[in-house]
Structure 1
Amino acid sequence: MALPQGKNPLTYAEYLKLDEDIQYEVIDGQIYNMSPSPNVKHQSIAMELSTEFNLFLRNRSCRVLGEIDVCLSDEDDHSKINEWVKPDIVIVCDMNKIRTNHIAGAPDLIVEILSKSTAKVDKMIKFNRYQRAGVKEYWIVDPIHEVIDVFVLKNGLYKHEGTFAQNEVIEVKMFEGLSINLRNVFREEF
């Protein structure tokens, strides 16, 4: 699939006019193709993590969303937005950031599930961009090795809180009382 032609970077307004099946992210002026669709294991992990977050956050002031456009600035003029991402899971606790079709501003927590085509972007480019944007907690899930790296923003920089494997429990720093047993997340064989 060819990248859009024209001026660089692509604006969010231009992106919204593209075919619905075309999905791109734009980070620091670079366009990243989001194809192909995630595999079954990727989707299963995303659903299990979303379920864990949703069960805890139900009836609280935070929302759990999956694969929604996130414009890291709080700009509302789509023609002025030239950077957005589409994380696997986002948690937003400031309802003023939720728009009809996207999130405007940094979410509180982002989860990215690695694939062969996204590993470098998720581990390096998005890591640095989320840190600059002020995303409070960033999780990088490695579905092949069934581990999750958790990073928490402290004094403007991510601190690695640990690498958690299938038989471990993550105590979510952002939400006191929320523990996620990774046996529930990495429970299927594919």
Structure 2
Amino acid sequence: MMTIMATSEDLLHESEFRPLTVDDLARLPDDGKRYELVDGVLIVSAAPFNIHQLVVDNVVALLRHAGRHDQRYRAFSGIGLSPDQHNQYIPDVTLLETSRFTDRYTDTPPPLVVEVASGSTGLYDRNLKKDRYLKFGVPAYWIIDPDRRAPSLSAYELAGGQYKQIAHVVGDEPFTALLPFPVRVVPSELLELYPEW
């Protein structure tokens, strides 16, 4: 079966007539941009800066190291979450149960998602995405701000149908998460080229 590639402009033209779906997203080329859907509306983000990718790689490595004795979970970057056909989010880091890994996207809430905030995505991560992860039922959500002067991590856990902030740590302050397994996170270490876990 041949897939016909579309451009984001093609999809925007189509969306004048109907909400877009996750199947529409599958027609887009892999051009380094991040394409997400919110209620059928296409959201396009530019390729991230190096510091962003360094933090993402370090979070993935940290979670894999901390969960190495628990084979039920694996950390990934760039995994799509689709609670329905008109919504698809791509967290910077997703912790998945290995039995839930699929080729395209997951339609069940992962135990943890992590966003690395930037100047262009900070409000999106702290508001809309946080609200959508809450509605999707994601039990734990972290937002990491990679500001070199004061890197920080805000951690939220689902309680009583709302996210409760359980931690906000800055610089060398540690945070020990318990869900879904214990892991110690220090924001300043996430900005190191070769952290020792």
Instruction: Indicate whether the TM-score tops 0.5.
Output: yes
Who is 1:37 aligned against? 47
In the TM superposition, 1:162-173 aligns within 5 A as: 162-173=167-178
Q: 1:45 deviation in Å?
A: 0.7
Selected match of 1:27 from 20, 38, 41: 38
1:13 and 1:118 map into 2 onto residues whose CA distance is 24
1:139 and 1:23 map into 2 onto residues whose CA distance is 19
Give percent identity, aligned residues only: 23
* Deviating more after overlay: 7-16 vs 126-135: 7-16
Who is 2:158 aligned against? 153
5+ residue gaps in structure 1?
Answer: 74-80
1:13 and 1:176 map into 2 onto residues whose CA distance is 34
Q: 1:23 deviation in Å?
A: 3.2
Question: For this pair of structures, how many residues does the alignment match?
Answer: 179
Selected match of 2:56 from 40, 46, 49: 46
1:176 and 1:11 map into 2 onto residues whose CA distance is 34
Q: Is the 8 A contact 1:71 1:85 kept in 2?
A: yes
5+ residue gaps in structure 2?
Answer: 1-7
- Once superposed, which parts of structure 1, at least 4 consecutive aligned residues long, lie more than 6 Å away? none
Alignment RMSD (CA, Å): 1.8
Q: Which amino acid aligns with 1:37?
A: A
The question of 1:187 aligning with 2:192 is answered: yes
Q: 1:165 deviation in Å?
A: 1.2
Who is 1:77 aligned against? none
2:12 and 2:189 map into 1 onto residues whose CA distance is 40
Tell me, what secondary structure is at the counterpart of 2:14? coil
Larger CA Rg, structure 1 vs 2: 2
